[in-house]
């Protein structure tokens, strides 16, 4: 088993290298460089040239790549000219809202998806199953930005139940309970939006899993032994149907990443997704490249996680 | 290979059973037609979709694109029904109805073009990968797996920012460059199960050329998968294009898309008080998405004999 996992990890190394080359090339194709933002009338062209030389911006591309990568490994992504501070510290500020939002989204997703998937599988072809299928069809069809916008319009502006922008109210100070509640209040709409569109896969897998399990021998054995029906579902079937869902979790990370860019923009939520759009709009390329690299590595780690869980869960992969 | 009697019996039984089960089944379009005749909602969705598509194409002939995209500041945010604007005007005084028609046409056109391009690339690479297997398959799947995990949305946005002379075709190629991988995977899996069937081995034994087996003998047997998949990925591609245009990184200024119209709602004043600018586009988008996906799922059911209703 460890051999399989090790092989999978080694496989990731060339992927990360190609990703970093791709991001670097994209970054260097961007107009302007790290100094563009510093240029103002008080600095002469010679001084800028000297700074370029000192920062190594005049070196050939392969050398600049090596510099950039060795900086990135140490956490040095350069400075953001828009925010006038190191890229890493901006990402450090913005990463937490996104992480909290993602955590709430994952929790909500499972709160919605687990009961729906289990019940629709258990009462196959009932009105409940049909309702769940309809819900699944709609949540699969509606694009996330349309759903987010309608939620914002309906619950934010029209009904005025939730705040419409930002991550926290302006009147509360950090450290108090009000602050935490205000943060939570700002997260609900975006989290519900993201959760609603990401339940489809989980419900589908769980429903099929339960339907398949119903006719399995171990379920028949349990029934024959006189295990109550509710326990057959809650213990025997539930556990087995959960296995593919557990393995699915790593891929969820990849989904949340692309989801955060759109959702955070709609709700002007101050996380990494909106930081990315902001850095593109302001041509703040050092932040942009760092974010693409970071999100890419996170997606790679997500699939790695899923594959590793799969190895533990599914013995067939281990043997191969 | 020598089979003992039991095995032979088992094999014949299998064949007989298969024949009984299939019993001269309807094929290809006939299956789909029967499914739609049985499924009234799918039929309704198909009719609505056809009406929208034909209506949009027909109406767009009567719309002067220059006039529709010219800013006229005096007509700013005219409410619907006033001054002859059915759906009012946007912040630049442009007719929302005209933008809606042209935008829908652009979104449908781009979505469909990407769907066709990704399907062609996906079918060719998928069949080659699944048919040959071995090292070709390994290399192809490495590439596919890698592109699949890339943060696609972000990289597309970066590329859109880099390319200077940006137009609808640039967007189509960029989206195609990332879209083909899921198609390849799908058609590879289908080819793998198809290639192990007897008629392929028989054809190989007869010495048929590989390309002929792949694209003349094997490909027609994937037709129901291809039709189903074209529909579902059409919906997905419209979603991606409008999503990018919504964020402001899709179609360039002057080429309206449904996403551009919906994107006006990013302005707090517009979303709250000037609903007429973005809500029609949202409704049209929802109707399109639900119809196309429903049709796709009905086709999926038709292709799977276990789920078929008709």
Is the pLDDT at B20 greater than 50, yes or no?
Answer: no
Is B107 in contact with B56 (CB distance < 8 Å)? no
A29: nearest CA in chain B?
B162
Q: What is the pLDDT of residue A35?
A: 60
Chain B residues within 8 A (CB-CB) of chain A? 146, 149-155, 157-159, 161-162, 235, 239, 242-243, 246-247, 249, 259, 262, 265-266, 268, 271-272, 275, 278, 282, 285-286, 289-290, 292-294, 297
Q: What mean pLDDT do residues B224-251 have?
A: 90
Give the closest residue to A264 by CA, choosing from A165, A182, A140. Answer: A165
Q: What is the DSSP string of chain B?
A: ----HHHHHHHHHHHHHHHHHHSS---THHHHHHHHHH-HHHHHHHHHHHHHHHHHHHHHTTS-HHHHHS--GGGTTPPTTGGG-TT-B-TT--BHHHHHHHHHHHHHHHHHHHHHHHHHHHHHHHHHHHHH-HHHHHHHHHHHHHHHHS-HHHHHHHHHHH-SS--HHHHHHHHHHHHHHHHHHHHHHHHHHHHTSHHHHHHHHTT--HHHIIIIIIGGGGHHHHHHHHHHHHHHHHHHHHHHHHHT-SSPTTS--HHHHHHGGGSHHHHHH-HHHHHHHHHHHHHHHHHHHHHHHHHHHHHSTTT---
From the list A22, A262, A291, which residue is nearest B243 (CB)?
Answer: A262
Contact status of A138 with chain B (Cβ, < 8 Å): yes
A272: nearest CA in chain B?
B154
pLDDT confidence of B109, banded at 50, 70, 90?
very high
Query: How far is residue A172's CA from residue A186's CA, in Å, rounded to a whole number?
Result: 13
Q: What is the pLDDT of residue B126?
A: 94
**Within a 10 A sphere around the Cβ of B224, how many other Cβ atoms?**
18
Q: What is the ipTM of this complex?
A: 0.85
Tell me the nearest-neighbour CA distance from A258 into chain B, angstroms. Answer: 6
Tell me the nearest-neighbour CA distance from A261 into chain B, angstroms. Answer: 8
Query: A with B: how many residue pairs have Cβ under 8 Å apart?
Result: 103
Q: What is the pLDDT of residue A41?
A: 62
Report strand pairing: A85-86 vs A79-80: antiparallel
Q: What is the pLDDT of residue B19?
A: 44
**Within a 10 A sphere around the Cβ of B284, how many other Cβ atoms?**
20
Residue A53, classified by CB atoms within 10 Å of its CB into exposed (0-12), middle (13-18) or buried (19+), is exposed
Residues of B in contact with A258 (CB under 8 A): 151-154
Q: Cβ of B247 and A138 within 8 Å?
A: no
Tell me the nearest-neighbour CA distance from A303 into chain B, angstroms. Answer: 8
Reported as a single tens digit per residue, the pLDDT across A261-279 is 899 989 888 889 989 998 8
Token pair, residue B297, equals 């799922």
Spell out the SS3 assignment of chain A.
CHHHHHHHHHHHHHHHHHHHHHHHHHHHHCCCCCCHHHCCCCCCHHHHHHHHHHHCCCCCHHHHHHHHHHHHHCCCCCEECCCCEEHHHHHHHHHHHHHHHHHHHHHHHHHHHHHHHHHHHHCCCCHHHHHHHHHHHHHHHCCHHHHHHHHHHHHHHHCCCCCCCCCCCCCCCCCCHHHHHHHHHHHHHHHHHHHHHHHHHHHHHHHHHHHHHHCCHHHHHHHHCCCCHHHHHHHHHHHHHHHHHHHHHHHHHHHHHHHHHHHHHHCCCCCHHHHHHHHHHCCCHHHHHHHHHHHHHHHHHHHHHHHHHHHHHCHHHHHC
Tell me the nearest-neighbour CA distance from A56 into chain B, angstroms. Answer: 23
Query: How far is residue B8's CA from residue A164's CA, in Å, rounded to a whole number?
Result: 71
From the list A30, A149, A277, which residue is nearest B162 (CB)?
Answer: A30
A15: nearest CA in chain B?
B146
Q: Which residue numbers in chain A have pLDDT < 70?
A: 32-43, 52, 54-58, 315-320
CA atoms within 13 A on the CB side of A59: 13
- The dihedral through the CA atoms of B56, B59, B61, B63 has a sign that is negative
pLDDT confidence of B18, banded at 50, 70, 90?
very low
Q: What is the pLDDT of residue A120?
A: 92
pTM as predicted:
0.84
Q: Cβ of A296 and B151 within 8 Å?
A: yes
Query: How far is residue B188's CA from residue B134's CA, in Å, rounded to a whole number?
Result: 13
Tell me the nearest-neighbour CA distance from A255 into chain B, angstroms. Answer: 9
pLDDT confidence of B21, banded at 50, 70, 90?
very low
From the list B146, B249, B262, which residue is nearest A18 (CB)?
Answer: B146
- CA distances in angstroms from A6 to A12, A163, A246, listed in the order given: 10, 47, 20
Is the pLDDT at B291 greater than 70, yes or no?
Answer: yes
Query: How far is residue A37's CA from residue A177's CA, in Å, rounded to a whole number?
Result: 40
Residue A44, classified by CB atoms within 10 Å of its CB into exposed (0-12), middle (13-18) or buried (19+), is exposed
Is A279 in contact with A287 (CB distance < 8 Å)? yes
Contact status of A56 with chain B (Cβ, < 8 Å): no
Q: What is the pLDDT of residue A116?
A: 93
B275: nearest CA in chain A?
A153
Is the pLDDT at B48 greater than 90, yes or no?
Answer: yes
pLDDT confidence of B26, banded at 50, 70, 90?
low
Q: What is the pLDDT of residue A108?
A: 93
pLDDT confidence of B17, banded at 50, 70, 90?
very low
Mutation choice for A interface testing from B150, B166, B278, B299 by most A CBs within 10 A: B150
Tell me the nearest-neighbour CA distance from B182 into chain A, angstroms. Answer: 15
Is the pLDDT at B14 greater than 50, yes or no?
Answer: no
Q: What is the pLDDT of residue A43?
A: 67
Q: Cβ of A157 and B249 within 8 Å?
A: no
Is A258 in contact with B152 (CB distance < 8 Å)? yes
Residues of A in contact with B297 (CB under 8 A): 137
From the list B282, B294, B297, which residue is nearest A149 (CB)?
Answer: B282
Is the pLDDT at B58 greater than 70, yes or no?
Answer: yes
Is A255 in contact with A199 (CB distance < 8 Å)? no
Instruction: Kindly state the percentage of chain B with pLDDT values over 70.
Output: 85
- CA distances in angstroms from A131 to A122, A123, A136, B54, listed in the order given: 14, 11, 9, 32
Reported as a single tens digit per residue, the pLDDT across B148-206 is 888 888 899 988 888 877 788 888 999 999 999 999 999 999 999 888 888 888 888 89
Mutation choice for A interface testing from B41, B42, B45, B151 by most A CBs within 10 A: B151
Reported as a single tens digit per residue, the pLDDT across B193-223 is 888 888 888 888 898 888 888 888 888 888 8
Token pair, residue A264, equals 């955070």
Is the pLDDT at B247 greater than 80, yes or no?
Answer: yes
Reported as a single tens digit per residue, the pLDDT across A8-61 is 888 888 889 999 999 988 888 877 665 665 556 666 777 777 776 766 666 777
CA atoms within 13 A on the CB side of B165: 1
* Chain A residues 178-197 with a CB less than 8 Å from chain B: none
Token pair, residue B107, equals 């979104």
Contact status of A280 with chain B (Cβ, < 8 Å): yes
Instruction: Kindly state the percentage of chain A with pLDDT values over 90.
Output: 18
Q: Cβ of B149 and A254 within 8 Å?
A: yes
Q: Which residue has the higher pLDDT, B211 or B72?
A: B211
Contact status of A165 with chain B (Cβ, < 8 Å): yes
Is A161 in contact with A155 (CB distance < 8 Å)? yes
Q: Which residue has the higher pLDDT, B39 or B284?
A: B284
Q: Which residue has the higher pLDDT, B114 or A279?
A: B114
Give the closest residue to A9 by CA, choosing from A316, A257, A305. Answer: A305
Is A47 in contact with A40 (CB distance < 8 Å)? no
């Amino acid at each position: 088993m460890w051999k399989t996992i090790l092989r999978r990890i080694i496989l990731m190394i060339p992927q990360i290298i190609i990703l970093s080359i791709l991001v670097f090339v994209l970054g260097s194709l961007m107009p302007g460089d790290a100094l563009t933002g510093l240029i103002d009338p008080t600095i002469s062209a010679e001084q800028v040239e000297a700074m370029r030389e000192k920062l190594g911006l005049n070196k050939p591309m392969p050398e600049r790549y090596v510099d950039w990568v060795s900086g990135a490994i140490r956490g040095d992504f350069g400075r953001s000219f828009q925010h006038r501070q190191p890229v890493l510290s901006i990402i450090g500020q913005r990463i937490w809202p996104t992480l909290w939002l993602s955590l709430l989204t994952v929790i909500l997703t499972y709160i919605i998806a687990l009961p729906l998937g289990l019940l629709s599988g258990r009462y196959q072809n009932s009105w409940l199953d049909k309702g769940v299928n309809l819900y699944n069809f709609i949540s699969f069809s509606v694009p996330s930005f349309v759903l987010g916008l309608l939620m914002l319009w309906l619950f934010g502006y029209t009904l005025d139940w939730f705040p419409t922008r930002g991550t926290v109210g302006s009147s509360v100070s950090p450290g108090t309970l009000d602050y935490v509640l205000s943060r939570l209040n700002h997260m609900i709409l975006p989290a519900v939006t993201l959760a609603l569109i990401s339940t489809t896969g989980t419900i589908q897998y769980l429903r099929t899993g339960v339907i398949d399990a119903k006719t399995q021998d171990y379920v028949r054995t349990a029934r024959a032994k006189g295990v109550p029906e509710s326990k057959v579902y809650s213990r025997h079937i539930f556990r087995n149907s959960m296995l593919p869902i557990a393995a699915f979790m790593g891929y969820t990370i990849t989904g949340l990443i692309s989801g955060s860019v759109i959702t955070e923009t709609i709700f002007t939520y101050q996380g990494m997704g909106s930081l990315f759009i902001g850095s593109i709009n302001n041509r703040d390329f050092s932040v942009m490249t760092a974010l693409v690299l970071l999100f890419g590595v996170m997606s790679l780690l997500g699939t790695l996680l899923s594959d590793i869980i799969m190895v533990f869960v599914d013995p067939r992969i281990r043997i191969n | 290979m020598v089979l003992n009697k039991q095995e032979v019996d088992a094999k014949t039984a299998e064949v007989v059973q298969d024949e009984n089960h299939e019993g001269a089944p309807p094929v290809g379009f006939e299956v789909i037609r029967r499914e739609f005749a049985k499924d009234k909602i799918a039929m309704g969705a198909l009719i609505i979709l056809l009406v929208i598509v034909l209506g949009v194409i027909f109406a767009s002939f009567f719309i002067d694109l220059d006039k529709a995209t010219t800013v006229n500041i005096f007509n700013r945010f005219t409410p619907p029904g006033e001054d002859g604007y059915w759906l009012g005007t946007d912040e630049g005084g442009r007719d929302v109805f005209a933008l809606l028609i042209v935008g829908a046409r652009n979104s449908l056109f781009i979505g469909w073009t990407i769907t066709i391009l990704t399907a062609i690339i996906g079918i060719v690479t998928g069949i080659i990968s699944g048919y040959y297997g071995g090292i070709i398959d390994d290399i192809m799947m490495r590439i596919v797996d890698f592109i699949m995990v890339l943060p696609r949305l972000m990289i597309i946005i970066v590329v859109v920012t880099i390319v200077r002379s940006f137009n609808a075709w640039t967007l189509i190629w960029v989206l195609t460059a990332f879209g083909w991988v899921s198609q390849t995977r799908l058609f590879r899996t289908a080819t793998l199960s198809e290639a192990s069937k007897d008629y392929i081995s028989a054809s190989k034994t007869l010495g048929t050329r590989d390309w002929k087996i792949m694209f003349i003998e094997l490909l027609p047997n994937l037709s129901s998968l291809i039709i189903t998949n074209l529909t579902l990925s059409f919906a997905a591609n419209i979603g991606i294009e409008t999503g990018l245009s919504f964020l402001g990184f899709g179609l360039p200024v002057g080429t309206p898309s449904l996403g551009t119209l919906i994107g006006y709602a990013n302005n707090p004043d517009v979303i709250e008080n000037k609903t007429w600018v973005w809500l029609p586009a949202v409704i049209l988008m929802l109707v399109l998405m639900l119809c196309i996906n429903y049709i796709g799922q009905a086709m999926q059911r038709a292709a799977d004999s276990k789920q078929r209703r008709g």
